[in-house]
Amino acid sequence: MMELNGKTAIVTGAGRGIGEGIAMVLAREGANVVLTARKIDEVAAVAKKIVAQGGKALPLTADSSKKADVQAMAAATVKQFGGIDILVNNAGIEATPTLAVDLAEEQWDRVLGVNLKGVFLCIQAVLPTMMQHKKGRIVNIASTAGIRMTFFGSVDYTVSKHGVAGLTAHLAWELADSRITVNTICPGGVLTPLMEQHSTPEFRDMVSKRLIPLGRMCSIDEIGEAVSFLASERAAMITGQMLAVDGGLLTGFGEDLRPIVRKRMADAKAAAAKR
């Protein structure tokens, strides 16, 4: 049974990785999927996969940190499919890991511009349609950094994801009388192609065995299945929640990670200086 049959979902940052995985799962569940990214070739390739499997997809270019782009995204979705039932705010960035003392103002603004402001702008763009129809599912993709902190990134990333937590709680309350639910999934340690490209097998093995009680990293599909659940009627009474999909990562860190983190930041700084 396809739980989302006939529903229309927007997935931002859907050109690869977690966003692509979410889009593929929602399409399998019967949803019409609008895919956005800054590069049209990436989302066009994902849309082609969805159509090849019998689904309906619309690829669009959009920068989620720009109001004009996301307003156009919402208008194009309504024009193509007649409405918007589900919004998945997946677009996000993580800049070069940097200690607070060295963090540039431009990096701070860029990370919060996409990871927090962009989430708000996308929600704001779809609300008129959802409020008019008195229904909607909004699922934000944050990180375990939104519940605790990031141990392998910078303070700007942690702050941006905690901001999404506040946004989720407030809008869940504000939009409840319009029957719009707002929830956030907090992945922890997801094995994406980007993760494989930018980390060594030894680092991934360390994360899996020393930090994740279940002993492995999450798959992209496991994040997609969590999104599908929160977008379905089964989750009608769930709103304002931060759901960690992390293999138990947040149950506790059993060692002082600061030496590992600082070495990783120093390595990243040295690599950047060579460019």
Q: In 10 A of CB 181, how many CB atoms?
A: 23
Side by side, which strands form the sheet with 32-37? Answer: 57-61, 32-37, 8-12, 86-89, 136-141, 180-187, 242-245
Q: Write out the H or E segment, with its range, that includes residue 120.
A: helix 118-133
Strands 57-61 and 86-89: unpaired
Name the active-site residue from 34, 59, 157, 188. Answer: 157
> Tokens at residue 176, please?
């409840």
Extended beta strands in 173-258, E state: 180-187, 242-245
Return the number of other C-beta atoms located less than 10 Å from residue 245's C-beta.
Answer: 19
Of the chain, the end-to-end C-alpha distance in Å amounts to 51
Give dist(CA 41, CA 169) in Å, integer. 35
Cα separation, 224 vs 221, in Å, equals 5
Cβ-contact 56, 50 below 8 angstroms: yes
Classify residue 3 as exposed, middle or buried by CB count within 10 Å of its CB (0-12, 13-18, 19+). Answer: middle
Tell me 16's DSSP state: S
For the chain, what percentages of helix, strand and coil (3-state, to nearest 5) are there? 55, 15, 30
Query: Is 157 known to be catalytic?
Result: yes
Catalytic positions = 157
